[in-house]
Structure 1
Amino acid sequence: GDDEVAVLSRAFNRMTAQVKRQRDALVAVNAETEQRRRFIETVLSGVSAGVVGVDSTGRIELINAAAADMLGLRDAATQGASLAQVSPVLAPLLSRVGRTPGGAAQDQIRVSHDGDERELLARVTPKGADPSEGAVVTLDDLTELVSAQRMAAWGDIARRIAHEIKNPLTPIQLSADRLKRKFRSLGPEDRAALDQYADVIARQAGDIRRMVDEFSRFARMPEPQTRDEDVEAIVRDAVLLQDAAETDVRHRIAVADAGPVARCDRGLLSQALTNLLKNATEAVQARLAQAPDGPAGEVRTTLRVEDGRVVIEIADNGVGLPQTDRARLTEPYVTTRARGTGLGLAIVKKIVEQHGGVLTLTDAEPFTEGATPGALARVSLPLSPAQTEMLRIA
């Protein structure tokens, strides 16, 4: 009897030890799995590419912040939702998975949300050999690359236009003047008609010359000659100049942080700010022409220091930005004005980026309750190294 109890006891102890080993192994596997899951989530949250995992039914299992931002989705609200429904632009790509060699499908897509447009490279890859098991969608934002390619192409076009068109303009204008002098002996009526036609020729040639000059400035933007400059002084000068030129639009300036210094080319930065102020003024004038009884025309310029950068904001209560193609407003020859060349904002963006800055265009907060939002142009520039160091020490 004792032997049987001893054997049973040893068997029980072995079984208990085995269960403990299996339990410990299971706990270790679960801990490793959880650690890997956290690691993957950390990696996905830190990468610039968008990543979306979908199950066999096309429902979202995982989406990182970059993908949610690119597609204009809220991360938490999309878990378990159909990707094709929350982002219909991806539906054709998802349907092609498994039909191509290797099973993957890839395409360049355009996504629009909140008036912003992005060019994305989307690639859908099956999770396993069977495409029905689900897929992983990766997204790369090509917006800046596509914009840079367009800018480079327009730079080349601008050089060609400037060269081919500018040369004949002087002879055309001179010929118009000679015609007026040559036929002074005509009767009053004929001479008046000739003067009118010649003036039209000269005026149109002048318009073309101004357009070509703008193309030339865009194509041959000088390299900035930078030094530490008082940004407040540059902003005040630009606002004062614009305010003096206009009578129906009021300009206001508010400085939250006095004396910010940036390493910049004063002339180029002044040119960029003047262009933005001019655009804002013209937008207000267009709104006043459409609705003379509306709120008084106003442009508000603010200056502050934020996160080691100097931020200049120019807000207006004009006609506002278009609802579509906003991302292309800074591309050459994209304009909302009938007589615009579409180069003003392209030049501004180029100047700002030459200074290591960022230009952002968005809706302005309405100046009065119930009013339609105007436009807001934001220029963010790095502070000078010396002032950055002073702020760090302080």
Structure 2
Amino acid sequence: MRLRWVDLVRLRRSRRLVSFINLALVCLGPALAALTYVTLGPLDAGSGSTRLRLVLFSDFIYVTLIVALVLQRVLRIIAQRRQKSSGSRLHLRLTGVFSIMALLPTITVAAFALLSINMGFEAWFSDRVQRVIGASLSAADSYQKDQRRALAEDAEALAEALEIYRRARGVIDLQNFRVFLSDEQVNIQRGLREAFVINGTGDLILRGNRSYLFDYEPPSAQDFTAALTEVLLIEDLPNNELRALIYLSGFADYYLLVSRDIDGNLYGLLDETRETAMLYQQLESERGYELFQFGLIYLAFAVLLIVSSILLALLFAERLSRPIGRLAGAAQAVGEGNLDTQVIEEEGDDELSSLSRYFNQMTRQLKQQRDRLLENTQQIERRGRVFDSVLSSVTSGVFGLDPEGMITFANPSAERLLGKNKTGNSSQLSLAVPEFAPLLERLQNSRSDNLQEEVKILRLGLLESFLVRLAPRRREDGRLEGYVVAFDDVTDLVSAQRSAAWGDVARRIAHEIKNPLTPIQLSAERIRRKFAPQLGAERGKLEQMTDVIIRQTNDLRRIVDEFSKFARMPKLVKKSENLNEVLAAAVTLQESGQPDVRFQLTMPDEDIWAEIDATMLSQAFTNLLKNAGEAIEAGWRSGLGTDKKGEIRVEMQAGQSGLSIAISDNGIGLPQDRSKLFEPYVTTRENGTGLGLAIVKKIIQEHGGTLSLLDAAPFSKGSHPGAKILIDLSNSDQTLMDSEQKEPN
């Protein structure tokens, strides 16, 4: 996939924008966590404020958005993994690893934080701390009780002294009573700062030593009511005073108000100690809730950090796996042959960016090399097609061999001449054509540049002649590259040469023998007529001798006639004839001459009309049928024929593929070198001349057909295979038509 520069720039800009947004979302998590911490402050601080609600709502929106983004990316990764997209497996693994790396520290820190908080709570609320706080609270209470008890006792003692004074004097003189009050105030062991005698409305009756009016604060009505039953203690911490109000039962509506200096700061500390102890007890009772609150707050922080960390892990995993996935997909495309594949080059100088650049450089170089290779291959293919067309057009068979004799090339003519099952690439010449192996071995062992020889090959029962030429192939540096084997089927040429030679011999023999035959026969007849009456008893012997001479002369004349026919075949006189009638007539003639043989004739339903010489073709059919009958008799004599009755099957077939006539018998069969049967003067019968099949072959060839000798399939189970003569007239000038449409001339 090739990207234009504009598309590449636009893609990089969009990726930068997406990366910036993702990074901003990741950084927003810790920022919100810090803002939440600042907003919360101490526990329960500002929990009801609008600001806190906004911050918590922002946290919720952020967590929801990040969780949605994380789920969307995870689902996309899973979908890519199911689709087996390039880099999806690595992306999923990196996402899992980085997510675990983000979760483990957070979970570990959370566990340690909760453990630390719990241990802190345990330390804060330990027995020792509780004892210290309890002791401090007890000390504060004891001090305050002592001060209050002492003041109450002093107030009661002063009140009792005043009561004794009243009973002793009866009538009280206020002046003397004031002196007595001042003296008794001084006599108190711990001393009193002020002493006042007031009535029930707060009016001052008299005052003691150092008891000034500006320091006097009248008690409230509730204080007077409370003082009727017991000593009422009043704390005035701002003025550092502790007052005691007691009712003087011996006086009419008189109260004694005394005060003593105390340390206000100390009392404040006592109150703070008491409040601290109460707060400590409250915290101890709410320790579980506080621990839960701490955990909840930390969980909120942890969720913010975790989701932002997972998003960062997804982004980082995508950053790593995306270029690797693109490289994997591009490598797969290159492996499938698409060398135009280019990947997006990452910005930067890291290894991934370098790898993308190197990959694009590699694919460009591969494409250039492939283009050069394709161009060279096309040139080689063009040359190969020219070479193949040349070799396919030649009639000679051609083999290409490697140095070990393995066939690397065979043209159609080679397969046609030797048979398709004989040749084939990646096979040894010695196995495909064993007859050529000795020539190859001789060429390998010699220093000759070529070798030519005629080789006989037996194929389908026919001994064929091939003119074979072998030559080595060498490279430019002289090293052997292989061999070239060229061969031609010269069987017909050899046969024609032999036929021509035998024809010339036949003409000379016929000329030399035919001339004296008639005088010899006439002389023998004349001797028999002239001398037979004179011999008397020897007459029979003379007639027997002259009959032998006459009979042998007739045999020689018959042989001479056959020589004449073979040497000079009469010119064919072709005309339109019914081939069915010609073949049927020949079969009928032989049926009458061979009564012991059963003939079976099979012909097409329609008549077969052809431009033929009926006389010559009938002679050929008759000769073939006669040979078939003689082969059956030879089979009976040799004992090979197991059938009790001889049978000759004649079948004519006509169709789109051509016309053929097959003559099969269950006789003795054909010899191994059956191809020689077509040669003149080659016969397997005692009285045969060896010219019959040669003449028949010439007649068939004159009609544009071919004659083949084949093995016939056994007519019955266990019988001996006979001979089959196949006449192929596909190339003759026959015309197929119905007898109703065509009549003989």
Give the TM-score, by structure 2 length: 0.47
1:7-28 deviations in Å (ceiling 9; x for gaps):
x899986665333211222244
Unmatched runs of 5 consecutive residues or more in structure 1: 389-394
* Partner residue of 1:302 out of 651, 658, 663: 651
1:123-144 deviations in Å (ceiling 9; x for gaps):
1111116474320111111111
| SS of residue matched to 1:303 | strand
The equivalent residue for 1:111 is: 457
1:334-372 deviations in Å (ceiling 9; x for gaps):
211121111111111111111111111111111111211
1:237-282 deviations in Å (ceiling 9; x for gaps):
1111111112111222111353111111111111111111111111
Q: Say which is worse superposed, 254-263 or 268-277, in terms of deviation.
A: 254-263
Q: CA RMSD in A?
A: 3.0
Between the aligned partners of 1:189 and 1:81, the Cα distance in structure 2 is 81
Q: Say which is worse superposed, 9-18 or 146-155, in terms of deviation.
A: 9-18
Between the aligned partners of 1:352 and 1:259, the Cα distance in structure 2 is 20
**Are residues 275 and 23 of structure 1, via their aligned partners in 2, closer, same or farther at CA, if it must alter by over 3 Å?**
same
1:148-206 deviations in Å (ceiling 9; x for gaps):
11111111111111110011111111222222222223555422222222111111111
Unmatched runs of 5 consecutive residues or more in structure 2: 1-346, 738-745
Q: Which amino acid aligns with 1:374?
A: G
The equivalent residue for 1:63 is: 410
> Are the aligned partners of 1:308 and 1:383 in contact in 2 as well (CA < 8 Å)?
no
Which is greater in Rg? Answer: 2
1:89-144 deviations in Å (ceiling 9; x for gaps):
3233213437465x111111111133211110111111116474320111111111
**Are residues 386 and 376 of structure 1, via their aligned partners in 2, closer, same or farther at CA, if it must alter by over 3 Å?**
closer
2:599 paired with 1:251: yes
Aligned pairs for 1:60-99 within 5 A:
60-68=407-415, 70-71=417-418, 74-75=421-422, 79-84=425-430, 86-97=432-443, 99=446
The equivalent residue for 1:391 is: none
Q: CA deviation at 1:82?
A: 3.1
Q: CA deviation at 1:62?
A: 2.6
1:279-322 deviations in Å (ceiling 9; x for gaps):
11111122123338643111111111144532111111111111
Q: CA deviation at 1:85?
A: 5.0
The equivalent residue for 1:124 is: 470
The equivalent residue for 2:611 is: 263
| SS of residue matched to 2:635 | helix
**Are residues 329 and 293 of structure 1, via their aligned partners in 2, closer, same or farther at CA, if it must alter by over 3 Å?**
closer
Q: Say which is worse superposed, 303-312 or 246-255, in terms of deviation.
A: 303-312
Between the aligned partners of 1:131 and 1:344, the Cα distance in structure 2 is 56
* Partner residue of 1:375 out of 723, 729, 735: 723
Between the aligned partners of 1:58 and 1:275, the Cα distance in structure 2 is 47
Between the aligned partners of 1:195 and 1:70, the Cα distance in structure 2 is 60
**Are residues 136 and 260 of structure 1, via their aligned partners in 2, closer, same or farther at CA, if it must alter by over 3 Å?**
same
1:44-77 deviations in Å (ceiling 9; x for gaps):
566532222221112222334543454467256x
The equivalent residue for 1:206 is: 554
Higher helix share: 2
The equivalent residue for 1:313 is: 662
The equivalent residue for 1:233 is: 581
* Partner residue of 1:26 out of 373, 379, 385: 373
The equivalent residue for 1:359 is: 707
Between the aligned partners of 2:392 and 2:717, the Cα distance in structure 1 is 39
Between the aligned partners of 1:12 and 1:251, the Cα distance in structure 2 is 83
Considering Cα pairs closer than 8 Å and 6+ residues apart, tell me whether 1 or 2 has the greater RCO: 1
Between the aligned partners of 1:317 and 1:353, the Cα distance in structure 2 is 26
Q: Which amino acid aligns with 1:305?
A: A
> Are the aligned partners of 2:681 and 2:689 in contact in 1 as well (CA < 8 Å)?
yes
The equivalent residue for 2:181 is: none
> Are the aligned partners of 1:115 and 1:323 in contact in 2 as well (CA < 8 Å)?
yes
Between the aligned partners of 2:501 and 2:638, the Cα distance in structure 1 is 36
Give the TM-score, by structure 1 length: 0.86
**Are residues 383 and 154 of structure 1, via their aligned partners in 2, closer, same or farther at CA, if it must alter by over 3 Å?**
closer
**Are residues 307 and 123 of structure 1, via their aligned partners in 2, closer, same or farther at CA, if it must alter by over 3 Å?**
farther
Higher strand share: 1
> Are the aligned partners of 1:284 and 1:319 in contact in 2 as well (CA < 8 Å)?
yes
The equivalent residue for 2:507 is: 159
**Are residues 330 and 306 of structure 1, via their aligned partners in 2, closer, same or farther at CA, if it must alter by over 3 Å?**
farther
The equivalent residue for 2:631 is: 283
| SS of residue matched to 1:127 | strand
